[in-house]
Amino acid sequence: MTAVTVVGQHALVTGGARGIGAAITQRLRAQGCRVTVLGRSAAPGQALAEQDPDGICAVTADVADAGQLAQAVDQARRRFGPIALLVNNAGQAESAAFLKTDAALWQRMLDVNLTGTMLCTQAVLPDMLQAGWGRVINVASTAGQTGYAYVSAYCAAKHGVIGLTRALARELAATGVTVNAVCPGYTDTDLVRESLARIVSRTGRDEATARAELVKTNPQGRLIDPAEVADAVAWLCGPGAGAVTGQTISVSGGEVM
């Protein structure tokens, strides 16, 4: 199979203006991609696009809303053409004991983490199939590879993302489209910093103690840098990963092997 360069290719990154998503957006731009960032809030994506108007555009949609998503993807195509690379990064985590996990919380976790991944992939896959080449990278989580207490709905959704990744990789194996998942451990993002603040407020621990509690599952004893996740995504998008599909790559300092 002929290797395809990513230079000039159109990448769509959901949740692409913050945290891991922002790192992925910048990494793909550095590789020469044109990037559309999609998010529920307009301002963060617009701020990125203003810094690099020739290479980044921003669209707004809830990934779990098929109607909003269709309009956003059409807008992205009008700006940068067919979509060749999709990074399903948008996600949300809420914690609760299982017996306090109501149906609404359960559904929220499925909607944004799993259904959103499915809908985004359906929205852009026709472009890839027509081109005979494409990359779908799902940003799951180590929560999709193992279990964590008090986040059963989130774990279930992320396990579903990995199952979807494997099923779709087999279905598309002969089409030139690869589908893989990247699973970060606890990563140094606003989301984790907010979790630390909640731990401090609920338990009375100091921040250093709370951070040590979070990173103790990582054998390297640290939080993952968002750039490390972006590097894994960028490699999966590149021509050297053409034979890699249906895989789950843990970026977690050895937490999951």
Q: What is the pLDDT of residues 35-45, one digit of tens each?
A: 999 999 999 99
Q: Record the pTM.
A: 0.93
Q: List, as one string, the DSSP characters of 101-123.
A: --HHHHHHHHIIIIIHHHHHHHH
* Mean pLDDT within 207-233: 90
Confidence category of residue 2, pLDDT binned at 50, 70, 90:
low
CATH number of 10-185+225-249: 3.40.50.720
Query: Is residue 30 over pLDDT 90?
Result: yes
Catalytic residue among 148, 150, 154, 186: 154
Measured distance CA(169)–CA(166) in Å, rounded: 5
- Residue 32 φ/ψ region, left for φ over 0, alpha for ψ in the -120 to 50 degree band, beta for the rest: left
Condensed to tens digits (0 to 9), the pLDDT of residues 179-207 reads: 999 999 999 887 777 777 777 887 888 88
Q: Given this model, what pLDDT does residue 100 score? A: 97
Query: What mean pLDDT is reported for the chain?
Result: 94
Residues 4-14, mean pLDDT to the nearest whole number? 93
Alpha carbon separation from 155 to 80, 139, 158, 169 (Å, rounded): 35, 13, 5, 21
What residues have CB less than 8 Å from 55, skipping those under 6 apart? 29, 33, 34, 35
Alpha-carbon distance of 115 to 62, in angstroms, equals 11
Do the Cβ atoms of 60 and 42 come closer than 8 Å? yes
Give the strand order in the sheet containing 85-88: 56-60, 34-39, 10-14, 85-88, 134-139, 177-184, 248-251
User: Is 154 designated active site?
Assistant: yes
pLDDT digits (tens, 9 = 90+) for 136-176: 999 999 999 999 999 999 999 999 999 999 999 999 999 99
pLDDT of 234 > 90? The answer is: yes
